[in-house]
Amino acid sequence: MDNLSDLSAKELLRYPEKCAIVSVDVIKGFCNKGALYSPRVASIVHPIVALMKVAWQEGLRNIILTQDSHPEDACEFSSFPPHCIRGTEESETVDEIQQLPFFDRILVLEKNSIDSGLSNELQQWVIDHPQVKNYIVVGDCSDLCTYQLAMYLRLDANERQITRTVIVPENCVQTYDTSVEFAKQIGAFAHPGGFMHSLFLYHMALNGIQVVKGIQ
């Protein structure tokens, strides 16, 4: 982690039509309120917004938000507390992204699982945009939805023999923390945030995903 280096935005976005930012679950139910709110996750909102602004300035126009939007009886609620139910404030994009002057040109895709790659709409978008060779993945959580998204993009390219670079800037991804003591109190699994964050970034790198400190 200490040896991660920054990536140059100007260099990466020299051909902006070949790049896309895919952001996962940067919504109010993880960043502002609700059973799965986390201050660790909230800390990535401003770096993500800064990245989107820089990328847009450099000419990038492919920005996708994949976001939890669950029915009230979501099967996922057997593993996680009810969260981000469709039509509630929790399922909304965070205000900081909504306030971007180009928000109306961002594609928002709803999902009902931690794996964005199961979305037919995202799969079709990837197929319909073969010119996009560089995918920048941001969002939460490092070891859940972000990991699944980055791995989908990497493994999809491997399976179809497509040249593709998947980039994860460490300052734009994060996960929550649940101590052993608190987990015992509520009858849940412990979740050491720092450890899980580092471990899953390592596993992404192990699979050929380019993990960088940030994109400046």
pLDDT confidence band for 5 (50 / 70 / 90): very high
pLDDT tens readout for residues 151-163: 999 999 999 999 9
The third-level CATH classification (topology) of the domain covering 9-212 is: Rossmann fold (3.40.50)
Asked if pLDDT for residue 4 goes beyond 90, the answer is yes
Domain ranges in the chain?
A: 9-212
**Torsion angle, alpha carbons of 130, 153, 19, 210, to 10:** -140
Percent pLDDT > 70 in the chain is 100
pLDDT of 200 reads 98
**Average pLDDT of the chain to the nearest whole number:** 96
pLDDT of 100 reads 98
- Count other Cβ atoms within 10 Å, centred on residue 65: 21
Q: Which is more confidently placed, 186 or 148?
A: 148
pLDDT of 187 reads 83
Percent pLDDT > 90 in the chain is 94
Per the rule left: phi > 0, alpha: psi between -120 and 50, beta: everything else, 187 is: left
pLDDT of 154 reads 98
Q: Which DSSP helix (H) or strand (E) runs through 211?
A: strand 210-212
